[in-house]
């Protein structure tokens, strides 16, 4: 076998676009742009509200700020590049840029999964051990959890691009998504990808898989504690404090599982399915999370409304 030349080792990849006429693609671009703008506005409003409201400087809201920052970073690492090829036709992405985007997507997803687990533990301690909550989950402990989440995401998913770096790419350069994902890029390599397959699966299971199991365990313990309460009204009141977090967990894990299933078992599906599932995975949590917590948290509602009123008075 001849040694692959530089163009084979360092190709540019072709991002996938939704099939259809230009008019339909223009509507898709407008929809993505609107969803991205909503994600930026919603998560930015949550960050600003928590920053300006002293009563929200508590672990639960600090975790919410982490989620908002992660969602902003995840959407910003992908959506502007997608809009660039819809608007300007630049569908190619360089090898280095693709690996960087791939790393950011997987690492930020791991960080978000860790923060969701920390929020589940916060709910468990608040409901099952309320007297210990203030002592266990301090603001300093919350900051350490955030740093540990970032370190965990980087350490587990930095090897993914490093394993792909030396592989030759000498066949098709067309991706099945509008951005770079590990399995998508790995499938285009014309070499043995077993180490990359094994490590990628192990990383997903040890991070997202383990977090999902621990979150379910936390809620089983919470449910057990809630069912011990005598009155149904009291049970509903206590469990209602978990509704927002449960919705956010579902908004993250359902698209993640759907995308994984499409990758593993949907190779014969239409390109539309792959592209749509990828966009849902990136944008749905970023759009829904601030809406969910904005609806469920009156302090955030009041602060955002006060910011809107101040902005209206200033513009007048």
Report d(CA 256, CA 279) in Å as an integer: 11
Q: How many percent of the chain have pLDDT more than 90? A: 47
Instruction: List helix spans (H) across 129-242.
Output: 130-136, 139-157, 159-164, 182-186, 194-204, 210-227, 232-239
- pLDDT tens, 274-288? 888 888 999 999 999
pLDDT range class, residue 154, cuts 50, 70, 90: very high
86 pLDDT more than 60 = yes
Q: 308: how many CB neighbours lie within 10 A of its CB?
A: 11
Rounded average pLDDT over 138-154: 94
Q: Does 1.20.1070.10 match the CATH number of domain 18-300?
A: yes
Q: 17: how many CB neighbours lie within 10 A of its CB?
A: 17
- pLDDT tens, 206-236? 999 999 999 999 999 999 988 888 788 888 8
**136 SS3 class:** helix
Residue of 157, 123, 120 whose CA lies nearest to 250: 120
Q: Record the pTM.
A: 0.90
Phi and psi torsions of 129, nearest 5°: -135, 65
Phi and psi torsions of 255, nearest 5°: -65, -35
């Amino acid at each position: 076998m001849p040694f692959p030349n530089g163009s084979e080792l360092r190709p540019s990849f072709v991002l996938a676009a939704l099939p259809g006429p230009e008019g339909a693609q223009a509507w898709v671009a407008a929809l993505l742009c609107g969803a991205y703008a909503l994600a930026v506005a919603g998560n930015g409003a949550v960050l600003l509200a928590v920053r300006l409201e002293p009563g929200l400087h508590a672990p639960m809201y600090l975790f919410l700020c982490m989620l908002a920052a992660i969602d902003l970073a995840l959407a910003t690492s992908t959506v502007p590049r997608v809009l660039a090829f819809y608007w300007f036709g630049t569908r190619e992405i360089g090898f280095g840029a693709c690996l960087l985007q791939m790393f950011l997507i997987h690492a930020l997803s791991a960080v978000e999964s860790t923060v969701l687990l920390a929020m589940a533990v916060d709910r468990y301690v608040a409901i099952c051990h309320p007297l210990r909550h203030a002592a266990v989950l301090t603001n300093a402990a919350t900051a350490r959890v955030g740093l540990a989440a970032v370190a965990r995401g980087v350490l587990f998913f930095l090897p993914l691009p490093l394993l792909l770096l030396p592989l030759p790419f000498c066949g098709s350069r067309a991706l099945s998504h509008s951005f770079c994902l590990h399995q998508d890029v790995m499938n285009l390599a014309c070499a043995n990808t077993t180490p990359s397959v094994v490590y990628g699966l192990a990383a997903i299971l040890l991070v997202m898989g383990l977090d999902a199991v621990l979150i379910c365990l936390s809620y089983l313990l919470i449910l057990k504690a809630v069912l011990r309460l005598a009155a149904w009204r009291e049970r509903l009141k206590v469990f209602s404090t978990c509704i927002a977090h449960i919705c956010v967990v579902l908004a993250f894990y359902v698209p993640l599982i759907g995308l994984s299933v499409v990758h593993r078992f949907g190779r014969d599906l239409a390109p539309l399915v792959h592209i749509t599932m990828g966009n849902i995975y990136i944008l749905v949590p970023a759009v829904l999370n601030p809406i969910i917590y904005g609806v469920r948290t009156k302090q955030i509602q009041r602060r955002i409304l006060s910011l809107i009123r101040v902005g209206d008075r200033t513009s007048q």
